[in-house]
Amino acid sequence: MDRLSNTVRPYAWGSTTAIPALLGIAPTGEPQAEMWMGAHPGAPSRITRTTASGETELALTEAIEADPEGELGTATVARFGPRLPFLLKLLAAGAPLSLQVHPNLDQAREGYADEEARGVPVDAPHRTYKDANHKPELICALTPFDGLCGFRRPTEAADAMEALGVDSLKPYVDLLRAHPEEAALREVLTAILAADPAEMADTVAEAAAAAERLGGAHAPYARIAHNYPGDPGVLAAMLLNYVQLQPGEALFLGAGVPHAYLDGLGVEIMANSDNVLRCGLTPKHIDVPELLRIVRFEATEPGVLRPEAAPSGEERYETPVDEFTLSRYTLASGAAPTGLTAPTPQILLCTAGSVTVGELALGPGESAYVPAGETVEAAGAGTLFRATVAA
């Protein structure tokens, strides 16, 4: 078992205070958006191991490469290869993230192979597929957490746009009311992304001013427009469900579901991939033809998840993926230790109180890596999240 030393990513949309407050340290004044826990090559966690030459600090990726089956277990390596198949994060949004969607596994493999065959550099700004993996993800709120998730009914989106009283939105309103559901959503999103940028900027400005005047259900779009003035993604956002999570509630984002996180602190887990197709609220490249191939144009309910309790004290967030599972434990002082031994690799994250895992004491924001099969128990008074591979 190893204490993790983790990297905090300073993306511009990050909160300047949420992660420092959890860690109990002073803010730097710079955004602190995500703290990564795992073996992603872009920012692997670091551990300290005792070797013949003494204590050595190394990246978790290096430890796994040196002994994949010893670290991950034979079953995990057989299913996913010699790599940790998930990435755990603390995510702190102080401003809206880009509106985005992720491919399914077949789409990722096809898209990656195509760009490789065409010789598109993997670090090119117009590259769409960074790897051949899918990226299902789950976000669990630690504080009240706002986001957008999945398309809402076209008639609901039409009502929201019509209420703004912006003449240039009328064609979108008419399309949303005149077509079958899938065709309506597809045509309107296509029209928004294909519109003349100058004309669209004017429309977005008018819509943002109207949303600010109206307030209420339109307030989130005014806030989005404040961060992304003139961005057509402001209008695309109006096609989606607005969701407010309370602490302990979660959202699962499967393939093809457009989404964006707006504000709040949460624990996020995802398959270890960088494949993101953006559809607004960003200055980055938007691959419209590929995006339209990937997006699932169907109205859905947001599907807020609450953990399912087990007699062991585990509260699990059930998802239909193999790469990861996320559980929560609420530990009470004086209670018998909770056994967490598993045949799969684990990352344990404390988010409140003080807990002990093995011989490691963890406070809020601190985490540990447990190799597959290693015996581990947790005790103390606090909240502990466990990330591992689905059985």
Catalytic residue list: 278
3-state secondary structure of 42: coil
3-state secondary structure of 313: coil
CA 139 remoteness from chain centre:
6
d(CA 346, CA 268): 15
Q: How far is CA 42 from CA 7, 61, 199, in A?
A: 10, 10, 38
Cα angle 300, 305, 308 (rounded to 5 degrees) comes to 140
Angle between helices 197-214 and 219-227 (to 10 degrees): 140
CA-wise closest residue to 238 among 131, 181, 306, 158: 158
Q: How far is CA 153 from CA 215, 279, 280, 330, 355, in A?
A: 21, 19, 20, 38, 45
d(CA 225, CA 233): 9
54: left (phi over 0), alpha (psi -120 to 50) or beta: left
3-state secondary structure of 288: helix
d(CA 242, CA 223): 13
Q: Is the Cβ–Cβ distance between 341 and 374 less than 8 Å?
A: yes
